[in-house]
Amino acid sequence: MITSSITKKLKGIIGNDNVFDSPESRLAYSYDSSPINTQIPDLVVRPTTPEQISQIVQLANDEIFSIVPRGSGTGLSGGTLPSENSIILLTNHWNKIIEIDKENLCVWVEPGVITANLQADVEKYGFIYPPDPGSASISTLGGNVAENAGGLRGLKYGVTKNYVLGLEVVLPTGEILHTGGKSVKDVAGYNLKDILIGSEGTLGIFTKILLKIIPKPATSKTFLAFFSSMEDAARTVSAIITAKVTPSMIELLDNTTIRCVEDYTHIGLPVETAAILLIEIDGKKALVDDDAILVHEICRKHNATAIKVAQDEIESIKLKTARRSAFASLARATPTTLTEDVAVPRSEIAKLVSRISEIGKKNNIRIGTFGHAGVGNLHPNYMTDKRDKAAFARAEKSIIEVEEAAIELGGTITGEHGVGLYKKRLLEKMVGSPSMIMMRKLKQMMDPNNIMNPGKIFDLRPKCEGPLPTEREQIKKFEEVAWI
């Protein structure tokens, strides 16, 4: 419990104006973009220097309370949900782009910079920052690094970790650590940077981030290919990769997603189509033209019923914006939408698509699937209502079955959303016992009092305490302790 003495000490560190303890303030941070749980934090704090964070962390170790770092709260796995006896530590106000280094192709940013703002800023100088999670227009770069966020351009350009050159981070024991730098090659000692990237707020709080940028491609071509079956679309993806073409983007939308997106955006998608691939090719013009011809041929060979090419930049942005709205479009269609984030080797994408469809039919649950097919990463969305216990249980069962299918196909339970609270159940099954042991030891080594975002990714308790609670039991537990 955060006592009034702790609150006083926190106010002493960061000033009265940066500690929020009113019920309204706390309520505002009782949820994130994940759809199920809520939990009221004891307090919300807004530090402004690494030294302040270091002092807060040391206080948390002395007084034993938990710290949940939070950017924009756009995470989909519950990673920024408050835990019991916790304070929310905000970084989203800390939003300066500190330096754009055009000679070394990198930028120093504060953790609260919005992803899209950085993208827009570096584009002015002829660069791009490629990682682009669906939530780029509101997500923060600190959150992107904490979750190792992916996005639409992952196929050609990789994910966040491929762009993090350096970090300033406050460790769970209060030390301010600097790792990495502008030298693109560096093998001096263990790679601490990549342990911290994707650690979901459990191993430290980022206070400064050095990111790589790259020259902006000269041109790009965007088009939609329509298919009368999901399997045809999925096989087209594998065929494109096998043909040694690397589009910047291959996004897949199933019929349910197409309907919901059209219903939301009214951009004229054909709602009878079983599947759409949104494909973007970028680079020098000659190369883009050649690759586009090849990709068109492959689409036709795999029974594409039509191909629609974006006529200009505006239409291209419109198509991509429609794709980006997929999650929101599905979320508004039913009271509760649970988003999955499985990924498989690219050769297995057609099999995964079939398995998702079978599981949906078997469990009588509507699933809208879209995602980054080019990298084998799909987002099945389970459309349900958490107030309908039976329907919700069927959704829950489907999630587990789809995750198990992904593991069987050599894939992962989470390609880009992180484990957070929602994917903990199958983590050990997926990564194996030696990895789980090493992860737990790493956490205990770095955070001996378990103060940093506890209960995310995994629980520290030993196996002898029995199996972890189901999603529903977790929710129940949350509901019991929550105010609302």
Q: Which residues, 206 to 265, sit near its own copies by CB under 8 A?
A: 215, 238, 241-242, 244, 246
Residue range at the interface with its own copies (CB under 8 A); choices 39-47, 197-205, 263-271, 380-388: 197-205
Distance CA 385, CA 249 (A): 32
Q: 110: which 2 tokens?
A: 């504060």
Span 318-347, contacts to its own copies by CB under 8 A:
343-347
Q: 123: which 2 tokens?
A: 């584009």
Residue 16 beta carbon to its own copies: minimum distance, rounded to whole angstroms: 31
Q: Which of 40, 97, 116, 195 binds its own copies (CB under 8 A)?
A: 195
**What is the CA 416 to chain-centroid distance, rounded?**
5
Q: Which of 177, 307, 328, 468 binds its own copies (CB under 8 A)?
A: 177
Span 397-416, contacts to its own copies by CB under 8 A:
410-416
Residues 6+ apart with CB under 8 A from 347: 238
Distance CA 131, CA 151 (A): 6
Q: Which of 439, 459, 472, 477 binds its own copies (CB under 8 A)?
A: 439
Total binding residues for its own copies by CB under 8 A?
Answer: 85
Span 114-133, contacts to its own copies by CB under 8 A:
126
Q: Which of 40, 442, 468, 482 binds its own copies (CB under 8 A)?
A: 442
Q: 93: which 2 tokens?
A: 């106000």
**Residue 474 binding its own copies, by CB under 8 A:** no
Q: Which of 189, 462, 466, 467 binds its own copies (CB under 8 A)?
A: 189
Residues 6+ apart with CB under 8 A from 436: 427, 428, 458
Residue range at the interface with its own copies (CB under 8 A); choices 21-29, 66-74, 274-282, 286-294: 286-294
Residue range at the interface with its own copies (CB under 8 A); choices 260-268, 306-314, 393-401, 428-436: 428-436
**Residue 461 binding its own copies, by CB under 8 A:** no
Task: Return the SS3 of 261.
Answer: helix
Exposed, middle or buried by CB within 10 Å (0-12, 13-18, 19+), for 198?
A: buried
What stretches of 240-363 adopt beta strand conformation (E)?
249-254, 275-283, 304-309, 336-339
Sketch the per residue contact string, 65 through 104, with its own copies: x for CB under 8 A, - otherwise. Answer: ------------------------------------xxxx
Neighbouring C-beta atoms of residue 190, cutoff 10 Å: 9
Q: Between the CA of residue 49 and those of 41, 94, 170, what are the distances in Å?
A: 22, 9, 10
- The nearer residue to its own copies, 324 or 346, going by C-beta atoms, is 346
Sketch the per residue contact string, 356 through 395, with its own copies: x for CB under 8 A, - otherwise. Answer: ----------------x--xxx------------------
- Three-state secondary structure along 287-309? HHHHHHHHHHHHHHHCCEEEEEE
Residue 126 beta carbon to its own copies: minimum distance, rounded to whole angstroms: 7
**Residue 181 binding its own copies, by CB under 8 A:** yes
